[in-house]
Amino acid sequence: MADALSRFDGKTAVITGGGGGIGAAIAARLHREGARVAVLDRDVSALPTGARWYLHEGDFLAEGAPEAFHAAVVRDFGPVDILINNLGQSGRERAAPFHRSQEEVWRFVMEISLFSAMRMSRLCAADLQARGGRIINMSSLAAFAGNPGLTDYAAAKMGLIGFTRSLAREMAPHGVTVNALAPGAIRTAAHAAMPPEIIADIIAKTPVGFVGEPEDVAAAAAFLASSEARYITGQTLLIDGGNWML
């Protein structure tokens, strides 16, 4: 088993949506274990700078942005070994009953929560196939739970699970594993903005009796990104304190 403090030495990890919350925790974890870490997000000011960091501030959906980011990473750090597709957003601020929902919101949610992962995976595919790399897609408990008002988000995140399974089969002959993580309630800025009674209800419905931390997701991501997970592919790991069992 590789030393946990150096198991990603010499590896290049790319994380979309890594400027805060879960993405930032994953970035910090991989960097701490030796990886060169490249992050693309609209705001990366909360991340550290220095050796083995490449921070690219920008909008993934802007024309040419993913291509420019990938080219810069390869130029500065070399080919990609680990891809974390963490970018995602619901249309919660514009949520409505489905019969009154708007297609422009559907398209935005699909672009940011599903198509971004597909595009980034395609960009990095040659690198990953040549190096027996890892892809980790960030799904959500919402894909399973069917939350009212989040039909577009649930569809995108379940679509990401289907993408994960299909791509895993395609990439397996090249030594690439493709898995997904599906976090439940995690203590992020979005979670903190919820009304206290909603948070209390979530905790009451979670068997472990508490809300997870971004580092809980980062630990799972680091395992799936490591050589120890070489025999795991096409899987979706729920990180929800047992919520989905109820």
Residue 207: burial class (beta carbons within 10 Å; 0-12, 13-18, 19+)? exposed
Contact 22, 138 (CB under 8 A): yes
Burial 209-234 (b: 16+ CB within 10 A, else e): eebbebbbbbebbbbbbbeebeeebb
CB 74 within 8 A of CB 45: no
Q: How far apart are CA 10 and CA 214, in angstroms?
A: 25
Of the candidates 180, 183, 176, the residue with the CA atom closest to the CA atom of residue 206: 183
Active site residues: 153
d(C-alpha 19, C-alpha 45), whole Å:
7
